[in-house]
């Protein structure tokens, strides 16, 4: 039996067939790649369109928030401005307004602009940068006419306060003298002696405070504050727990039962501190915008305000350094607190009542505050 075999292809025919197959394969791959590229482009176009849609929605949401904020400010800020308010924590060195700086330096506007650019914070800074800012203030106070208002000489302060009291009798103004943590004991003792002398001449000084860079302890000054309260009848307020990393000496300070605590940003992180503050109802001075601009809290909503309010600790809303921090007048701070924590008018009145009770002028019967009580209770400046 014979099998018929197909004729063998020549080498030239095999080569021609291979080329044709490769062309078909290449055409098929090119077609597939074109389809894949088209699909990829479609996906990319869709992704870009989706991103643009999200971005447009975010822009619209932001614009709506801005419009709503403006509307709320226009409608409600005047209401907060007309409220009687008690300020317990406003540093003179950080409360110089832009207008005042320009007035003090009207003969050198170029230098005034340079100083203003450094003095006012436009965005949050870490604590070190914030404290560097206060060194800039000394540049402003070099001229003799500036010393009249902002000199470190206490007599100048007393004179300014007395004139303010005569010009604006409806506003009660008193001084709390700050002891910087960097002072050595001898310097602090000398300052306390000087305060005692001025107390005999005026009723403007009502208290002392521990302040300055919170990275320093200042525990060596503890006995100074005990002397100030016991022998000079002065109120004592201490800036404590401003930094989460600097709380080692807080319990020692709290054991002396200060009349008030300034900031206290991280007191709630330690159960012992919470127990002391809650049991003794030590009033707390809270500076909302200041905490945000010193980066100790991410936002006002993250403030410790709500925590202590639920604990029943007396709170006061304060400005700290309204000249340095934008949008931090007392009116604006009340507005921010009301929005962030959904405070009612009754809440704000109670905060003012607690602040007045916590004031050293009230606690040590420095002046007649019956009219102030009336205004706060009736929520009116009239």
Number of domains present in the structure of the chain: 1
Provide the pLDDT for residue 104.
62
Kindly list the catalytic residues. 242
Q: For helices 154-167 and 185-199, give the axis angle rounded to 10 degrees.
A: 40
Q: Is 257:229 a contact under the CB 8 Å cutoff? A: no
Tell me the C-alpha distance between 367 and 172, whole Å: 9
Structure pTM? 0.73
Cα 152 from chain centre: 25
Q: Does 128 reside within a domain? A: yes
Task: Please report whether residue 72 resides in a domain.
Answer: no
Domain that holds residue 245: 80-378
- Whether 120 is covered by a domain: the verdict is yes
Confidence at residue 126, expressed as pLDDT on a 0 to 100 scale: 53
Per the prediction, the chain carries an average pLDDT of: 81
Distance, CA of 4 to CA of 7 (rounded, Å): 9
Per-residue pLDDT of 116-153, as tens digits, reads 555 455 555 554 554 454 444 444 444 444 434 434 56
At residue 340, does pLDDT exceed 50?
A: yes
| Residue 236, pLDDT score | 98
Q: Is residue 38 part of a domain?
A: no
Q: Is residue 91 situated within a structural domain?
A: yes
Residue at 332 is within a domain: yes
The 3 state secondary structure assigned to 219-230 is HHHHHHHHHHHH
Q: Is residue 20 part of a domain?
A: no
Determine the pLDDT at residue 110. 65
The yes-or-no verdict on residue 382 having pLDDT over 50 is: yes
The answer to whether the CB of 126 falls within 8 A of the CB of 298 is no
CATH of residue 234? 3.20.20.140
Cβ–Cβ < 8 Å for 250, 222: no
53, part of any domain: no
98: pLDDT strictly greater than 70 = no
Higher local confidence (pLDDT), 282 or 324: 282
């Amino acid at each position: 039996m014979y099998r018929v075999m197909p004729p063998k292809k020549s080498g030239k025919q095999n080569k021609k067939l291979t080329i044709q197959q490769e062309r078909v394969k290449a055409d098929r791959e090119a077609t597939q790649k074109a389809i894949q590229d088209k699909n990829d482009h479609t996906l990319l176009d869709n992704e870009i369109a989706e991103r643009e849609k999200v971005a447009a929605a975010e822009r619209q949401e932001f614009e709506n928030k801005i419009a709503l904020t403006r509307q709320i400010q226009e409608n409600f800020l005047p209401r907060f401005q007309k409220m009687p308010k008690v300020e317990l924590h406003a540093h003179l060195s950080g409360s110089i307004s832009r207008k005042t700086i320009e007035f003090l330096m009207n003969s050198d506007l170029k230098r005034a602009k340079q100083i203003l650019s450094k003095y006012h914070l436009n965005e949050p800074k870490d604590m070190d940068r914030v404290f560097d800012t206060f060194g800039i203030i000394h540049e402003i106070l070099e001229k003799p006419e500036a010393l009249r208002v902002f000199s470190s000489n206490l007599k100048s302060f007393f004179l300014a306060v007395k004139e303010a009291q005569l010009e604006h009798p409806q506003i009660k103004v008193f001084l709390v003298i700050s002891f910087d943590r960097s002072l050595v004991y001898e310097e602090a003792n000398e300052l306390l002696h000087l305060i005692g002398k001025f107390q005999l001449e005026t009723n403007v000084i009502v208290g002392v405070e521990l302040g300055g860079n919170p990275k320093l302890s200042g525990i060596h000054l503890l006995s100074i504050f005990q002397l100030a309260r016991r022998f000079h009848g002065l109120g004592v307020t201490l800036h404590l727990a401003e930094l989460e990393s600097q709380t080692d000496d807080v319990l020692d300070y709290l054991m002396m039962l200060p009349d008030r605590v300034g900031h206290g940003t991280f007191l709630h992180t330690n159960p012992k501190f919470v127990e002391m503050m809650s049991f003794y109802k030590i009033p707390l001075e809270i500076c909302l915008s200041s905490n945000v601009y010193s980066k100790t809290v991410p936002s006002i909503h993250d403030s410790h305000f709500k925590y202590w309010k639920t604990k029943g600790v007396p709170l006061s809303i304060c400005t700290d350094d309204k000249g340095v921090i934008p949008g931090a007048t007392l009116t604006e701070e009340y507005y921010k607190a009301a929005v962030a924590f959904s405070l009612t008018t009754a809440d704000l009145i109670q905060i003012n009542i607690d602040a007045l009770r916590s004031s050293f002028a009230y606690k040590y019967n420095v002046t007649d505050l019956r009219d102030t009580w009336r205004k706060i209770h009736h929520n009116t400046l009239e």
